[in-house]
Structure 1
Amino acid sequence: MYGAIIGDIVGSYYEVLEIKNKNRSYEDRMKIMDRNVPLFNENCSCTDDSILTTAIADAILNGESYEKKLREYGLREINLGKDIYGRSRFGKGFVEWLKNDYMGESFGNGSAMRISPVGYLFNSINEIKIESLNATIPSHNHIESIKSSEAVAVSIYLLRKGMDKDSLKEYIEKHYFSLEYDLDDLRKNYKFTSRAIDSVPQAIFCFLNSNDFEDAIRLSISIGGDSDTIACITGALAESYYGIDEEIIECAKTYIKDYMKDVIDKFYSTINNKNNILVKKEY
């Protein structure tokens, strides 16, 4: 869960650069790959990605409906504030959904960015597919979002159970979508989009091409685009595979609100208990 939140926090600064400067250069994007450049800065923040990831975890841990918790957290933070360029930190479509009682049909990546707790808190692929669907459709009842969310949740589960990167790539390409990209081409030509099918595969690709958790976050930001969401998804996968250095977690905690920390603590306590249960491999 920290993996997703850290990706969101770090990516929040770079997302606004991508929107402000629609043609960011390859050289500019590559600066983040220098490990002397700090991951965190004063313009970073938790965005809707972190808040709604926490909402999904809260719903599972307390046996409540996903829609109820998404609306509860969303309405609580609807005035989350503006970024450094004056944009709302919640997407326009999600705000409209919060204010109205209807099922959202978005094909955006907002459901995939929040789905990671499902991949951790359930212990079979069948359960994860069902819960991923239930967590997605209240606001993103579109096949592209449904498929993308499921791909992220299932990937996390498979990585938790020991699947290697090559096998994961093969699995995702067989069941979901192609991951055939060129990293340099993405860095030079990838444009901002919040469409799930055009950003979630790229996030998974970034994880597959990383060397450790920090490298995964930096690499995901280096391709540009919807940086907080891409890094959020990449970070979630990277945590399940590499783990996270305590120093990075401690830095991230300074950006996280106390009520979110309570849910996060309960999440990890539950995970630690579940990890003692032997689960048959299903892939």
Structure 2
Amino acid sequence: MLGAIIGDIVGSRFEWNNIKTKDFEFLTHDCFATDDSIMSLAIAHAVLASEGNFDNLGELAVSSMQGIGRFYPGCGYGGRFYNWMFSDNPQPYNSYGNGAAMRVSACGFAADTLEEAMLLSKKVTEVTHNHPEGLKGAEATVVAIYMARTGSTILEIRDYINKHYYPMNFTLDGIRDTYEFNETCQDTVPQAIMAFLESTDFEDAIRNAISIGGDSDTLAAITGGIAEAYYGVPDDMRKNALDYLDERLMKILIEFENKYHPQLE
């Protein structure tokens, strides 16, 4: 859960100022929590509110994303999602934007089975991103987190994603020079997963994601959720990252981690 938030915060200063290298200062005073962190915590809030009965998780996701998001209206939401967030009658809008995948990490940490991980992903995603590619991107992210959390190896995760979601037949070095800003799931999620697959530890995974450029905060948020599930988050990095969250957001994170224990390095 915190891994996605750290990825978002570290990537925040590079979204419109891409850096095509892994050599950069990690958490600085220029970093901030964007809509990726806000919505990740909103989904965590919805999962908590369900109290383990996920039948109405979709409705809770709508309530949490609108209720929490409205406290942070200037955090970088896309135009259609912003309108949805303030709508009195919010309806899905057939999106396949990468916002579907950046917010779902809580589902991967809360699920008890792979099938439940897929179900939770669908319930919290289809309320906005009901396009097949949006649903696919979110599910691939949640599945990778669940597998990483429950003992699968990097090779096993790679093979499963390659078989069921996206071809993993590229390298970060091979795409770095030509990869450009893209807000679709299909051109963000595979790259974010590869950033994890090529990593050696949590920080390295985040650096990988940011080093290819593109939608840096969202890429790193997706990568960060998976990397936390596999490696855990270093304690000093965890403490530094918490400084970027206000009391409202911190409370959600702590409550979620108390129920669904975080991965510690």
> Out of 16, 29, 46, which is 2:20 matched to?
29
Shift of 1:214: 0.5
Shift of 1:251: 1.1
Matches of 1:191 and 1:143 in 2, distance apart? 23
Contact 2:172-2:191 within 8 A present in 1 as well: no
**Counterpart of 1:3?**
3
Give the match's secondary structure for 1:225.
Answer: coil
Contact 1:15-1:226 within 8 A present in 2 as well: yes
Amino acid at match of 1:136: T
Say if 2:37 is the partner of 1:50: yes
Matches of 1:17 and 1:3 in 2, distance apart? 22
**Counterpart of 1:140?**
129
Contact 2:171-2:194 within 8 A present in 1 as well: no
Larger CA Rg, structure 1 vs 2? 1
**Counterpart of 1:72?**
67
Shift of 1:105: 1.4
Contact 1:106-1:140 within 8 A present in 2 as well: yes
Shift of 1:108: 0.2
Contact 2:145-2:229 within 8 A present in 1 as well: yes
Say if 2:232 is the partner of 1:243: yes
Give the match's secondary structure for 1:39.
Answer: coil
Matches of 2:214 and 2:74 in 1, distance apart? 24
Contact 1:104-1:137 within 8 A present in 2 as well: no
Matches of 1:232 and 1:125 in 2, distance apart? 21
- Deviations 1:142-184 (CA, angstroms, capped at 9, x unpaired): 1001011011111111111100011111111111111111222
Shift of 1:77: 1.2
**Counterpart of 1:60?**
47
Give the match's secondary structure for 2:151.
Answer: coil
Shift of 1:272: 3.1
Matches of 1:79 and 1:243 in 2, distance apart? 30
Normalised by the length of structure 1, the TM-score is 0.86
**Counterpart of 2:162?**
173
- Deviations 1:81-111 (CA, angstroms, capped at 9, x unpaired): xxxxxxxx22112112123322221110101
Contact 2:117-2:143 within 8 A present in 1 as well: yes
**Counterpart of 2:102?**
113
Give the match's secondary structure for 1:189.
Answer: coil
Give the match's secondary structure for 2:16.
Answer: helix
* Alignment gaps of 5+ in structure 2: 51-56
Matches of 2:199 and 2:225 in 1, distance apart? 13
Matches of 1:251 and 1:234 in 2, distance apart? 19
> Out of 31, 38, 41, which is 2:28 matched to?
41
Amino acid at match of 1:58: H
Matches of 2:169 and 2:107 in 1, distance apart? 26
Matches of 2:66 and 2:86 in 1, distance apart? 9
Amino acid at match of 2:20: R
Give the match's secondary structure for 2:166.
Answer: coil
Matches of 1:157 and 1:202 in 2, distance apart? 18
Matches of 2:4 and 2:40 in 1, distance apart? 8
- Deviations 1:38-60 (CA, angstroms, capped at 9, x unpaired): 20122211000000000000011
> Out of 159, 163, 166, which is 2:148 matched to?
159
Q: Which runs of 4+ in 1 moved over 2 A?
A: 99-102
Shift of 1:265: 0.8
Normalised by the length of structure 2, the TM-score is 0.92
- Percent pairwise identity: 39
Aligned residues: 252
**What does 1:241-280 align with in structure 2 at a 5 Å threshold?**
241-272=230-261
Shift of 1:185: 2.5
Shift of 1:254: 1.1
Shift of 1:257: 1.2
